[in-house]
Chain A
Amino acid sequence: MFRFRFLGKTKIPHRKNTAHMAPVRMPAPKTVCITMDQHLGAPATPVVKVGDEVKVGQLIAEAAGVVSAPIHASVSGKVTKIDSYLRASGALTTAVWIESDGLMTPCEGITPPSITDLGSLIDAIRACGLVGLGGAGFPTAVKFEAIRNGAVNTIILNGAECEPYLTSDARTMLDHSDLMREGVALLQRVLPCIEHYIIGIEKNKPDCIAEMKRVFEGDDSVSIAKLPTRYPQGAEKILIRNTTGLTVPEGKLPADVGVIVMNVTTLATLAKYAKTGMPLVEKCVTVDGSGVNEPKNVIAPIGSSVADIIAFAGGFREEIGKIILGGPMTGRAVYSTDEPIAKTTGAVLAFAPKDAKQPEITHCLHCGKCIDTCPNNLNVPAFALALKLDSKDDQIKVLEDSRVNLCIECGSCAYVCPANRPLTEGIRIAKTALRENKAHKATLK
C-alpha cells in the first residue's frame, strides 16, 4: 500500500473517562418523546393516534420516501400526545409522546427477518429503522442501495470515535465484538461483491484494537486500520482517505469510489436485529461532563429525556451551565432538560457553569492556525471575510470559489483559534446563505 499523509491533525483532549465502564440499562422512564426527524432526509410520518396502546418495537411512524427511516416505540404504554416540538436550532418537528406502563412488553409480531440476498438485506435494514449511529443519521438502507447499481467493494467500519468523552462505540467493540463478528459474517454471506472490510480505530483505544484483532483473526478480508489520534479521524471522507487513500470528490458519495462507511454500533445493531428482530429502540449514550455526579455509559430507550438519563447517572451536580447532546466538538447544545435523545445521540454531556463559559472573542491575529489544522485544507478565514462583502453576488462567488460546501463542520478551526473566533458558526451561516441563494435562483427560473 502506498504511503500518504494522514488528514486530520487537530490535537484535542480525549477525556475518555467512561472507557472502562460497561453500559448499564436504565429503567423505563415515565414518558418518552420520540421526534420524527431522527435521521437525514424526510421526517417520518406518525401512524399511531393519541390513546393507542403501543409495545416495545411497534412501528409508530413510517418512512416518508426513500431517504427516510421508520421509527418504533421504545417503551410499552399509551400514546398521550402527538404535537410539534421546538428544537434548539429553532426548527419545528413533530413528536410522539408515549407514557410508559413500566413493563417494557415487547411487541408480539417480532421475529428475526430472513436475510438471503442484497434485496432482503436492504428490506431488513429499512424495517429495522437503522440510520448512521455515529451522528449523521443517514438512513443505512440508502447507503446499501448503492451496492445494487455501483461497484462497491469495500465496507469501512468506523470505530474511530474521535470526539472527546464519547466511549459508546468503544464499548460496542469491547462488549459486542461477537455481534460485530456476526454482522460481518452476515454481510459476507449476502454481499459477495464486498472484498474488504476495514475497521478504523484511533490508536488511543488499544484494547479495542486488540479485541477486534482477536475476533477477526484468520479472516483475510477483514483488516484493522490503526488511525492517528488526531481529530477528526471519524469524519467519513477523512476516514476513507486515511484507510484506503481514496478521495471522495465533492458532490459525490463514498459509494461512488466503491466504499460504504458504517459505524461499528450500526453494524452491531444490524446484527442484533438479524438475530432477534427487535428494531432500533434503544441507544447507548455516554453520560459525562463536569456537571454529572456519576459519569457512565447508559443504554436508554430512544426518546428518554436528558433529565431522566442524568437522574440515572446520579443526577446533576448543583448548577449546570450547558448540556450537549453528542460530543463537545460537533454536538448540539440544548435549552431544556426535557430534550429527548435520538437514534443518533452518542452522548449526553452536562457542564458546570465554569466549563460552559463562552470564551471572549478577540481580533483575528492572522496566525493561520485554522488553515493549518483544517482537515480539508480549506482557506478558513476567507469565509468570514466573504460574509463581510457588500454585494450578495460577491459573497456567493467567493464562498463557492473557496468551497465552503466542502467544510464538514468538524469544529477544528474554532477549537484552535487563539482569538476564539466562532469560525465554524460563521461557516454554518455561510452555508445557509449559499442554500438560500440556490433556492432563490430556483424560484426565479
Chain B
Amino acid sequence: MEKLIVSSAPHIHAKHTTQSIMRDVLIALSPAAVAAVVFFGWKALGIILVCVAASVLSELCFNLICKKTQTVSDLSAAVTGLILALCLPTTAELWQCALGSVFAIVVVKCLFGGIGCNFANPAATARVFLLVAFSASIAGGTATAFADPDVVASATPLEIIKFSKDAPLPSLLDMFLGNRMGAIGETCSLALIVGGIYLIVRKIIHWEIPVIYIGTVFVLSLIIKQDLTVALYEILGGGVLIAAFFMITDYVSTPINKGGKMLFALGCGIITVLIRFWGAYPEGVSFAILLMNIVAPYLTKLCVRRPFGKVGK
C-alpha cells in the first residue's frame, strides 16, 4: 500500500485561486483596454504594454534579487500595471510610464512584503507620484481619434467644470462612450461598467462597494452644485468609474470585512468630491484612495461583526 496523505480538514477547496481572481480582473479590464486603443490609437497600446511589462519585470527582478518566492504567476503585477496604464493620458512619455510601474511594484508593493502586505494601492500611489513629478504630461490628455476636428480640445471635462474654461463640454453620450479627453482607460464608461458587472457576477467584488462610491460622488455633487447634469459629468468624468470597480475594490489595501469596505467606499466618495470642488486639483480619486488606505485598518477594526452566540462585551 502506498503512503496516504494525512491532513487537517477540510479536504476539498473552492476552485478559485489568487491567480484565477487576478485573471478575472484582467478579463474585466480588457474592454476598457480595447476602448483605450480604439479611442487613443497606438500610443495607448504602447502605454499599456510598457506598464504591464515594466510591472511584471520589476516584480520578477525584485524577487530574484531578494531571493524570494517567485510571485509573478499570480498575475497581480500585471493587474497593477494595466490599471496604472489605464489611468494615464497619451501625453505621458513611455519612460514615465515605465518609471511609474517600477515605483508601484517595487516601492509600494514589494518593499512592504509583496502581495497581500502593501498598505497603499500601488496603481493609485504610482499615479499620484507621476502626477506630482510630471504634472505637465500627466494631468492633461489629447483628443480622441473621433473628436470633432473643429473643436480644439484643450482640457478634460473636469478641468472645464472646475476652472470654467471656455472649451465646450463633450456631450453626455460622448462621456458615456469615451469620446473625450482624459486618461486612456478612464474615458469609456461603458467598457468600465461592463467589466465591473463581470466582476460582480463572478463574485470577485461586492456590488455594494462601487454603488456606494459612485452614489456618494453623485449625491454630494448634486447637493453642492444643484445641477443634475454636472453631477452626471462628475461620475462619468475622471477616474470615478475605474476606481469604483477596480481600485477601491482592491483586496489588499482596503478593509478586510464588508462593513469596512463599505465605509471605505463612502470615505473615498466624500474625499473625491471635496478635492474636486475645493482642492487644487481638478481630480481627486487617487488622493482619496491613498488617504483612505491609511485608515483602512481602523475601518476593519470598527466593523468586526459580533460573533453568533457571543456573550458579554
A residues with a Cβ closer than 8 A to B are 7, 12-13, 88, 164, 237, 241, 247-251, 319-324, 326, 328-337, 351, 356, 358-359, 362-368, 371-372, 375-379, 381-382, 402-403, 406, 409, 411-412, 414-420, 422, 424-425, 428
Contact = CB atoms under 8 A, between A and B. Distances in A.
Classify chain B: how many residues form its interface, as a range: 35 or more
B309 A418 contact: no
A424 B311 contact: no
Interface stretch (B35-43, B167-175, B249-257, B274-282): B249-257
Interface of B: 1-2, 4-14, 16-18, 20-21, 71, 74, 114-117, 251-252, 254-258, 261, 304-311
A377 B308 contact: yes
Contact of A328 (B11, B71, B115, B306): B11
A415 B14 contact: yes
9 contacts: A319-B2, A322-B4, A329-B10, A329-B12, A335-B6, A362-B71, A381-B256, A415-B10, A424-B10
A428 B12 contact: no
Given A323-B4, A333-B7, 7 more contacts: A331-B11, A358-B5, A365-B115, A368-B258, A371-B258, A377-B305, A411-B10
Contact of B9 (A12, A330, A334, A377): A330
Contacts of B4: 320-323, 333-337
A372 B308 contact: no
Nearest to B16: A418
Contact of B18 (A322, A379, A414, A418): A418
Nearest to B305: A377
B252 A366 contact: yes
B308 A376 contact: yes
B7 to A, nearest CB: 6
- Nearest first, the 3 closest Cβ-Cβ pairs linking A and B are A411-B10, A363-B116, A425-B8
B311 A419 contact: no
Nearest to A338: B1
Given A249-B311, A320-B4, A362-B74, A367 B21 contact: yes
A368 B257 contact: yes
B290 to A, nearest CB: 17
B9 A411 contact: yes
B11 A337 contact: no
Nearest to A409: B9
A362 B72 CA distance: 12
B212 to A, nearest CB: 16
Contact of A322 (B1, B5, B305): B5
B103 to A, nearest CB: 21
Nearest to A370: B256
B184 to A, nearest CB: 27
A352 to B, nearest CB: 11
Contacts of A358: 5, 7
A251 B6 CA distance: 31
**Which of B5, B71, B304 neighbours the largest number of chain A CB atoms within 10 Å of its CB?**
B5
B258 A333 contact: no
Nearest to A363: B116
A39 to B, nearest CB: 19
A319, A359, A364: residue with the most chain B Cβ atoms closer than 10 Å? A364
Nearest to B253: A366
A250 to B, nearest CB: 5
Nearest to A329: B10
B308 A324 contact: no
A364 B115 CA distance: 8
Contacts of B12: 12-13, 164, 328-329, 415
A417 to B, nearest CB: 8
A248 B309 contact: yes
B2 A365 contact: no
Contacts of A365: 18, 21, 115-116, 251-252
Given A249-B311, A363-B114, A403-B310, A379 B21 contact: no
A414 B20 CA distance: 17
B258 A416 contact: no
A189 B222 CA distance: 69
